[in-house]
Chains A and B, each alone.
Chain A
Amino acid sequence: MEEKKASRRTERSGLANVLVTLRTQLTFLVSSFRKGDGRTRLSYVFMGFSNLARGQVAKGIYYLVCELLFVAYMVTSGARSVAGLRTLGTQTQHIEAIPGQVPKLIPGDNSMLMLLYGVAAILLVVWFIATYFWNVSSAVRAQEFQQQGKPLPNFRTEAREYLDAKFHATLLFLPVTGVLLFTVLPLLFMILIAFTNYDSSHQPPGSLFHWTGLYSFKGLFSNSGVLGGTFWPVLGWTLTWAVVATVSNYVLGMLLAILINKKGIKFKGFFRTVFVLSIAIPQFVSLLIMRNMLDDFGPINGVLQQWGLVSKFVPFLTNATFARLSVLVVNLWVGIPYSMLITSGILISIPKELYEAAMIDGASPFSMYTKIILPFVLFVTAPYLITQFIGNINNFNVIYLLTGGGPNSLTYYQAGKTDLLVTWLYKLTVNTRDYSYASAIGICVFIISGVLSLIAYRNTKSYKNEETFQ
C-alpha cells in the first residue's frame, strides 16, 4: 500500500518536473542578469561575449557561431518553416493555360514538406533555447571565476573534462543525434499527421492537406462506416492473437525446457541447438518457406491428398478460420524455442529443495508443474511475459510473411482476416498512402503498449530500486 502511494507520487511529478525546471531556469536567467556585470549582460544579446571578453576564446566563438548560424537559418528559411505549420500550405499547384502557348505547371505549396521542415525547425529552436541557457550559465560562471580571482579554465582543461566528469556527454552525443534524426523527428512528424487529413485523396503536391483535429480517430472509432467496421474487428483479432500466441508459446516453451532439462536426458546441447536453428534462420526465409509449404497446392496439401486423408486441398492460408489457426501454429515454431531458452535459465535456478520436498510429499509430476514450477517461473518472468505480449501485438513478420494479412475481406477497408493493427498500418502506408489513418492506428498501438508497459515496469523491483539493486 505504502509502495503504491510512493510510485503514484513519482508518476505525477513527470509533468510537474518539467514545469519546475522551466521556472528555475527562468528565475536563473533574471537573477543572473541583475547580478551580472556589463560583459555578462552583453552575452544575453551576443552569445559567448562574456567568455570571449574574459579569455575563453574557443568557448566564446562556439556560442557566437551557434547564434549566427541560428539567426541566419531563421532569417533564410526557419521562420517561414515555423509559420508554415499553421496552414500547411494554401497554394495548390495548378496548370495555367494561356491560349496559344504550351500549358505551364505553376508549382504550389507542399503540405508534407512544410510539415516536415516545420517540425525540424521547432526541434532546432528547442536546441537553440538550450544552447542559450548554457551560454548564460557559462557567462555567469566565467564572471564568478574572475570575481573570485581564480584562473579561468582554458580550452584544454575543459575539453579534458569531456573525457572524465562529463564523459557521459561525449558518449551520448552521437547516439542522441542519431535517435533525434531517425526516431524522434520522424515520430513527431507522424504523430502530427494523425491530426491532418493526409490520406489517399489528399496527396501533395497534387492537392494539399490540412489540420483536421481528431477527424481520423473519429473515423476509426465510429461504429458505422467502413473504417470503424475494419478497426474494431482488427483490434479484436490483434488482442486475441496476442493473448493466444503469448500464452501458448510461453507454456509450451516451458514444457519443452522441462523436457530438455529433465534428469537423465542426454544430448541436451544437441536438442537445444536443433530448436535454436529456428531462431538463427532469418525469419523471412523460414516464414516464406512455411507460406509455400502451406500453399493450397503446396507440399503439405500434396501429401495429404496423396495419402488420401483429404479429397480437396485444405485452405490453410486462404480460409479465414484456417488462416488464423495456421498463423498461430506457425508462430509456435518461431516462438517456442525462444521461450524455451528464457525459461531454461530460470528452471535451473529453482531451488532443488522445493522439488525434493514435493517428491517426499508424493506429488505427481503434473501437480509439481502446476504448484511449484509454474508459479516460480511466472513470478520471475512476469515482465518478460508482458514484453512478449507487446511484441506479439507488433508481430509484423509472422503475419505479413505468412498470409500478408489475408484472406482479404470485402467488408474491411484494405485489410484481411489475419491482419493485425501493425500490418494494417503498413498496408495503409504502402498501398493506399492513407498516412493519417495509419498514424492514428500507430498511436492506438502506442497507447495499448504504453499502458501495458507501465503496469509491467512500474511493478518490477529493478525499476523501483535501481540503485540498491546495483
Chain B
Amino acid sequence: MSGQASARAKGRAVAGNTLAYVLLAVLCLIWLIPIVWIIVISFSKGVAGVPNYFWPKYGLTFQNYTNLFSNAGIKSGFYFPRWFLNTLLVAICSCALSTVLVLSVAYALSRMRFHMRKPLMNVALVLGMFPGFMSMIAVYYILKAFDLTNTLFALILVYAGGAGLGFYVAKGFFDAVPKEMDEAAMIDGATRAQIFWRITVPLSKPVIVYTILTSFLAPWADFIFVNMIMGPTAYKNYTVALGLFRMIDREHITTYFSMFTAGAVLVSIPIVALFISMQRFYIEGITGGSVKG
C-alpha cells in the first residue's frame, strides 16, 4: 500500500520534472531567439535594411565586422573603433570616481553619527524621486557655462557627479558589517580613516565589486546624456551606444543595419562576459539591497 503510494508519488515527481524541463527549455529558447538572431544576421551576406528572415539567405561573411573598422565606415562618419575607445576611457574614469564617491557616502552614512545624517538621507531620497531626464537640459547649460560641451570629460563628470546618490546597496552592506570590529580597533588607537581603509574596505569585496561593475557598465548603455552633451557634429566623441543608435535611425537604417548588428555584438561580448563572470556579486548586490524589509 505504502509502496504503491510512494511509487505513484515518484511517478508524479518524474512527470512534474519532465514538464518543468520542457517549460524551461521553451522559455530559454524564447529568451535566446533575439540574441541568436542578431549574431546570425551579423555574419550574414547581403543584408540591406532589416531582413525579414531569421536564417541567412545569401551565405555567411565577416564583411559586416570588417566594415566597422574600415575606412569606408570611418568616412561615412561612423568611427566605431574610436567610439569603443571613448567609451572605455569614460567607463574607466567614471567608474573609478563613482566607486570612491559611493563608498565614501555609504560608509559615512552607515558608520558615522553626525547631526546632518538623517536630513542628508532624506534629501537623497527626495532627489531620487525626480525623473532623471528632468534635469538633463539644465545639466547641459551648466556644462555649457563651463565650456565643456562636446567633450568626454563632461561625460565623466555627468556620470560620476550624481553617483553619491546611489549609496543604498553599499550602505546596506556596511550596516551588516559588525560594529564590534570598529570599536576594538578604536580602542587600539586607530582613526576612523584607518578603520575605513584597513577593516571595512577589505571586508567589503562583494559590494565593491558590485559598485565597480554597475558604474563601469553605465556608460556603455547610456545614449541619452551623450546625445545631449555631444552636438550633432561631434561624431568623434560619441560613445558606442549613441553611435550604434545613430546607425539605425531612419535615414541610416537601410544602409547600416548590418553594420549595427556587428557593432552590437562586439559591444555586447565584453559586457556580457564581464557581467556573467561577476554575476554572483551582482545578485548579492540587488537581493541584499532591495529585500531588507
The answer to whether A binds B is yes
- The interface of chain A, by Cβ under 8 A from chain B, is 14, 17, 112-113, 116, 160, 163-165, 167-168, 170-172, 174-176, 178-179, 181-187, 189-190, 256, 259-260, 262-265, 271, 273-286, 288-290, 292-293, 295, 297-299, 301-303, 333, 337-338, 341-342, 344-346, 379-384, 387, 390, 394, 396, 421-422, 425-426, 429-430, 435, 438-439, 442, 445-446, 449-450, 453, 457, 460-462, 469-470
A-B contact pairs, 28 of them (CB 8 A): A112-B141, A116-B141, A116-B145, A167-B192, A168-B112, A175-B164, A178-B161, A178-B164, A182-B139, A182-B161, A277-B32, A278-B31, A279-B275, A280-B279, A282-B267, A282-B268, A288-B248, A288-B264, A289-B38, A290-B34, A292-B50, A301-B52, A302-B51, A303-B54, A338-B286, A380-B291, A396-B133, A425-B134
User: Does B5 count as interface, using CB distance less than 8 angstroms?
Assistant: no
Q: How far is the CA of A396 from the CA of B24 in the complex (A)?
A: 29
The answer on a CB contact under 8 Å between A449 and B129 is yes
Q: Which residue of A lies closest to B290 (CB)?
A: A384
Are B291 and A425 in contact, with the CB atoms below 8 A? no
Q: Is B104 an interface residue when CB atoms closer than 8 A count as contact? A: yes
Contacts A187-B127, A274-B28 known; A259 to B104 CB distance under 8 Å? no
A446 touches B129 (CB 8 A): yes
Task: Please give me the residue from chain B that is nearest to A187 by CB atom.
Answer: B135
A187→B293 contact, CB < 8 A: no
Interface residues of B in 156-193 (CB under 8 A from A): 157-158, 160-165, 175, 179, 191-193
Contact partner, A286, options B17, B34, B163, Cβ 8 Å: B34
B127 and A167 contacting across the interface, CB-CB below 8 Å: no
Query: What is the CB-to-nearest-CB distance from B231 to chain A, in angstroms, rounded to a whole number?
Result: 13
Contact A182 B134 (CB under 8 A): no
B21 within 8 A of A: yes
B293–A380 contact, CB under 8 A? yes
Cβ–Cβ contact B125 & A457, under 8 A: yes
**A167-B196, A259-B20, A341-B283 as given contacts; A289 in contact with B34, CB under 8 Å:** yes
CB contact under 8 A between A182 and B131, given known A273-B276, A293-B34: no
Residues of B within 8 A of A (CB): 13, 16-17, 20-21, 23-24, 27-28, 30-32, 34-35, 37-38, 50-54, 100-102, 104-105, 107-108, 112, 114, 117, 119-120, 122, 124-127, 129-139, 141-142, 145, 157-158, 160-165, 175, 179, 191-194, 196, 217, 220-221, 223-224, 228, 241, 244-245, 248, 257, 260, 264, 267-268, 271-272, 275-276, 279, 283, 286-287, 290-293
Q: How far is the CA of A190 from the CA of B175 in the complex (A)?
A: 35
B104 interface neighbour in A113, A174, A442, A445, Cβ under 8 Å? A174
- Which residues of A are found within 8 Å of B279, using beta-carbon distances? 273, 276, 280
**A383, B138: Cβ atoms closer than 8 Å:** no
Residues of B with C-beta under 8 A to A293: 34, 37
Q: Which of A187, A344, A469 contacts B175 (CB 8 A)?
A: A469
- Indicate if the CB atoms of A183 and B134 lie closer than 8 Å: no
The reply to whether A190 and B137 form a contact with Cβ atoms under 8 Å apart is: yes
A167, A264, A277, A293 interface centre (most CB from chain B within 10 Å): A167
Instruction: Please name the residue on chain A nearest to B160 by beta carbon.
Output: A178
Kindly list chain A residues whose C-beta atoms are within 8 Å of the C-beta of B37: 289, 293, 299
B244→A190 contact, CB < 8 A: no
A279 CB contacts on chain B under 8 angstroms: 275
Contact A274–B31 (Cβ < 8 Å): yes
Whether the pair B163, A178 counts as a contact (CB closer than 8 A) is: yes
Bound form: Cα–Cα A288–B241 in Å: 11
Contact of B293 among A168, A176, A342, A460 (CB under 8 A): A460
CA of A184 to CA of B125 in the docked complex: distance in angstroms? 12
Q: Is the CB of B161 within 8 A of A422?
A: no
B31 touches A174 (CB 8 A): no
**CB proximity of A363 to chain B, nearest CB, Å:** 14
A179 to B161, CA, bound (A): 6
Closest residue on chain B to residue A445 by CB atoms = B131
Query: Which residues of A are found within 8 Å of B126, using beta-carbon distances?
Result: 450
Distance between Cα atoms of A187 and B264 in the complex (Å): 34
Partner pick for B241 among A116, A265, A274, A282, CB 8 A cutoff: A282
Provide the bound-state CA to CA distance between A295 and B134, in Å. 30
Q: Among A183, A273, A430, which residue has the most Cβ atoms of chain B within 10 A?
A: A183
Q: Are B31 and A183 in contact (CB under 8 A)?
A: no
A187 and B32 contacting across the interface, CB-CB below 8 Å: no
Which residues on the B side are within 8 Å of A290 (C-beta)?
A: 34
B280 to chain A, nearest CB (A): 10
Give Cα distance in the complex from A279 to B100, angstroms.
25
Cβ 8 A contact of A116, one of B131, B138, B264:
B138
A184 lies within 8 A of B264 (CB): no
Are A295 and B192 in touch, CB under 8 angstroms? no
Which chain B residue has the least Cβ–Cβ distance from A173?
A: B104
Chain A residues near B105 (CB, 8 Å)?
A: 171-172, 175
Contact A190 B164 (CB under 8 A): no
Nearest B residue (CB) for A305:
B52
Contact B192 A163 (CB under 8 A): yes
Flag if B53 contacts A299 (CB, 8 Å).
yes
Establish whether residues A345 and B291, one from each chain, have CB atoms under 8 Å apart when the complex forms: yes
CB distance from B186 to the nearest CB of A (A): 9
Complex contacts, A14 vs chain B, CB 8 Å: 122
Contact (Cβ within 8 A) A187 B134 = yes
CB-based nearest B residue for A461: B293
Contact assessment for A288 and B245 in the assembled complex, using a CB-CB cutoff below 8 Å = yes
Residues on the B chain within 8 Å of A457, using CB = 125
B276→A280 contact, CB < 8 A? yes
Q: How far is the CA of A260 from the CA of B161 in the complex (A)?
A: 40
Asked if A299 and B51 make an inter-chain contact with CB atoms under 8 angstroms apart, the answer reads yes
Q: How far is the CB of A346 from chain B (nearest CB, A)?
A: 6
Partner of A295, one of B50, B162, B287: B50
B23 pairs with A259, CB closer than 8 A: yes
Whether A342 pairs with B287 at a CB distance below 8 angstroms is yes
Given contacts A274-B28, A276-B279, contact A171 B104 (CB under 8 A): yes
Interchain residue pairs A-B with the least CB separation, the first 5: A175-B164, A302-B52, A182-B161, A186-B138, A442-B134
Residues of B with C-beta under 8 A to A337: 31
Give A31 Cβ to nearest chain B Cβ, in Å. Answer: 20
Q: What is the CA–CA distance of A186 and B138 in the complex, to the nearest angstrom?
A: 5
Least CB distance, A199 to chain B, in whole angstroms: 13
For the complex, give the distance between the alpha carbons of A344 and B132 in Å. 30
